[in-house]
Structure 1
Amino acid sequence: MAWLNLAKEAQRWGTAHPTIVPYEAFKTKDSFFVVGAVNNRQFQKLCGYIGNDKLAYDCRFADNNSRIRNRKELKRILDSLFALKTTDDWEKIFEGSGMPYGPINNLQKVFSHPQTIAREMVETIQQPASVSGFVNLLGIPVKFSESKPSIREGPPSLGQHTDEILEELGLSSKVISELRTEGVVGNRRSL
């Protein structure tokens, strides 16, 4: 929007928000925790939750414009405070706060999260090419109340649909057979 309305080139901010400070990921004792304060009231609440009420009344951080101007100094202060506790500790502290917050999960936590399980975001399907005979796939992200989407089949094996594709392109089965004989098209693998 800054480019469209002001012809202002974007900058790289990492996990930080360009116009709301603070709103980014902070290193904790064991991981990372994202938290934001989108207005002055939330900034005051944030300061209370992190154990530094005085910070909310520091003139360098009195309002969002001041916090933007003093972003680096505020980040340094917040980094030192968030590093004192684990991500789980911070989640407990912010629970029910109404603030935007959350952990940055590793993949193990993502796929074992109750919401991931409840939304059936991992589906196990048969896959003959797999050593176990099964493969895990990401589930369908869009769910409907009246119908349940599902994965109809697994990833295709090498050459599984070659004939169908060549036929759709207008080649006859005789021409496809000749292409196989000449080595232009690989031999179909057993499914």
Structure 2
Amino acid sequence: MAGPLSGIKVLDLSRILAGPWSTQLLSDLGADVIKVERPAGGDDTRGWGPPFLAREDGSATAESAYFLSANRGKRSITIDISTPEGQGILRELAKTVDVFVENYKLGDMKRYGLDYAALCEINPGLVYCSITGFGQTGPYSSRAGYDFVIQAMGGLMSITGQSDDQPGGGAQKCGVPISDLMTGMYASVAIVSALFERTRSGKGQYIDMSLLDTQVSWLANQASNYLVSGKPPKRWGNAHPNLAPYQSFAASDGELIVAVGNDRQFAALCRTLGVEELTHDERYATNAQRLQHRATLIPALSELFVRASKRHWLDQLERSGVPCGPIQSIPEALADEHVLARGMVFSLPHTSGVSAPQIANPIKFSRSSIHYRRAPPALSEHTDEILTTELGWSAERIAHSKKKGVI
């Protein structure tokens, strides 16, 4: 069955991660995504390596692992948008698409005549999404925005990492560029919502996505904790600000996670550890009391966990219904039998002749399909195809534009 976005065309002028992450999701859902890149070098992330995808002879392709993570399913066309000819090509393509995504600096698209005001004149149904670090308005709007900076400015690093009074304490960024990824996810939701609204109004609209807005929005319970209490959240390492015990514990051969979410689970934990009397201790009878007396509870539990192995405790806790899990490396996670059973690791044939490993889209529909039509493209792989099929260009015209360096 065709994907739910089958028939939707996307013109993607985004680079790096937030925009490409969004358009990859749209492609997985069935949209035809045309990725527009610079003739010289293309998307910056093509060179963000090593590692690079390797051919069978061991030589590296031009595609980095970073690029491969966010660009499957797309068709690559190279256009020099700084030239009047390149801008004209994009305007012609914009007439034929449903969605336009870009993450250029504030004012660049207007300077090129590719802003929403210009393109909606020639395509009133166009859904146009701009992704920037700080949005189209406000005192920071002209600044460049990178994920690391946004994690710092948006409050995330103030709650990530060990407490300042612990060894290694201090602010930490997340291990993946989560501000970029979440902005891409929100952008996808916004685009699909605008397409749905268009079915009623017949009109497209403009979407202004900001990495900083996104980062602030998903501070979630931590921001709410502050707004309700007036107390700034602190870093808790692997502990939880609102639940206890909800953290990592050291067993005799490594660490495991225990995630107690209610009083019933705490009682089950105490029975498993052989200290059922703790459930009758008024200091630990409720979650609020456990939080208040965290300083005595956690050391008492830690002394018990270190007496046996991770596997012993995980087996016992699972049987008792206490949420728990091992702390796995990425290789261990990707080899986990459940992850493999859910089809989360696969590969696609790359134009270089080898397979490009991929992490699957996690969405699973009962009727619709997720489409993995092609591996992340080589630079300019589909330029001739797109100009011929979408705009009706002749081979001679294509050759002439290539000679001029426009495409």
TM tier relative to shorter chain = 0.7 to 0.9
SS at match of 1:34: strand
CA RMSD of aligned residues (A): 3.1
Between the aligned partners of 1:61 and 1:24, the Cα distance in structure 2 is 16
Partner of 1:66: 289
1:95-106 paired onto structure 2 within 5 Å: 95-106=318-329
Question: Given that residues 384 and 398 in structure 2 are in contact (C-alpha distance below 8 angstroms), is that contact kept between their aligned partners in structure 1?
Answer: yes
**CA displacement 1:59-102 (0-9 Å, x = unmatched):** 44343233212213322222222222222211210123232222
1:23-172 paired onto structure 2 within 5 Å: 23-129=246-352, 133-161=354-382
TM-score (norm 2): 0.39
Between the aligned partners of 1:38 and 1:127, the Cα distance in structure 2 is 45
For residue 112 of structure 1, report the CA deviation from its aligned partner: 2.3
Between the aligned partners of 1:178 and 1:76, the Cα distance in structure 2 is 74
For residue 176 of structure 1, report the CA deviation from its aligned partner: 7.3
Between the aligned partners of 1:73 and 1:179, the Cα distance in structure 2 is 73
Between the aligned partners of 2:377 and 2:266, the Cα distance in structure 1 is 52
Q: Give the counterpart letter for 2:370 in structure 1.
A: P
Between the aligned partners of 2:309 and 2:297, the Cα distance in structure 1 is 20
Question: Given that residues 32 and 104 in structure 1 are in contact (C-alpha distance below 8 angstroms), is that contact kept between their aligned partners in structure 2?
Answer: yes
Q: Give the counterpart letter for 2:314 in structure 1.
A: E
Question: Given that residues 56 and 62 in structure 1 are in contact (C-alpha distance below 8 angstroms), is that contact kept between their aligned partners in structure 2?
Answer: yes
SS at match of 1:102: strand
Q: Give the counterpart letter for 1:69 in structure 2.
A: Q
Q: Which runs of 5+ in 2 are unaligned?
A: 1-223
Task: Provide closer, same or farther for how the CA distance between residues 179 and 46 of structure 1 changes in structure 2, counting only shifts above 3 A.
Answer: same
Task: Provide closer, same or farther for how the CA distance between residues 180 and 91 of structure 1 changes in structure 2, counting only shifts above 3 A.
Answer: same
**CA displacement 1:12-48 (0-9 Å, x = unmatched):** 2222221211111212233322213333333222112
Between the aligned partners of 1:14 and 1:56, the Cα distance in structure 2 is 25
Question: Given that residues 140 and 151 in structure 1 are in contact (C-alpha distance below 8 angstroms), is that contact kept between their aligned partners in structure 2?
Answer: no
1:16 aligns with 2:229: no
Q: Which runs of 5+ in 1 are unaligned?
A: 186-191
SS at match of 1:24: strand
Q: Which has the larger radius of gyration?
A: 1
Between the aligned partners of 2:319 and 2:330, the Cα distance in structure 1 is 25
Partner of 1:189: none
Q: Give the counterpart letter for 2:361 in structure 1.
A: I
Please identify, of 21-30 and 156-165, the stretch whose mean Cα deviation from structure 2 is larger: 156-165
Question: Given that residues 269 and 320 in structure 2 are in contact (C-alpha distance below 8 angstroms), is that contact kept between their aligned partners in structure 1?
Answer: no
For residue 153 of structure 1, report the CA deviation from its aligned partner: 0.7
Please identify, of 1-10 and 15-24, the stretch whose mean Cα deviation from structure 2 is larger: 1-10
Question: Given that residues 351 and 377 in structure 2 are in contact (C-alpha distance below 8 angstroms), is that contact kept between their aligned partners in structure 1?
Answer: no
TM-score (norm 1): 0.75
Q: Give the counterpart letter for 1:148 in structure 2.
A: S
**CA displacement 1:90-126 (0-9 Å, x = unmatched):** 1210123232222222223322223212221111211
Structure 2 residue aligned with 1:2, among 194, 200, 225?
225
Please identify, of 57-66 and 110-119, the stretch whose mean Cα deviation from structure 2 is larger: 57-66
Give aligned-pair identity as a percent: 34
For these two proteins, the number of residue pairs brought into alignment is 181
Q: Give the counterpart letter for 1:19 in structure 2.
A: N
Partner of 2:5: none
Question: Given that residues 283 and 290 in structure 2 are in contact (C-alpha distance below 8 angstroms), is that contact kept between their aligned partners in structure 1?
Answer: yes
Task: Provide closer, same or farther for how the CA distance between residues 40 and 183 of structure 1 changes in structure 2, counting only shifts above 3 A.
Answer: same
Question: Given that residues 333 and 339 in structure 2 are in contact (C-alpha distance below 8 angstroms), is that contact kept between their aligned partners in structure 1?
Answer: yes
Runs of 4+ in 1 over 4 A off after TM superposition: 161-167, 172-185
SS at match of 1:96: helix
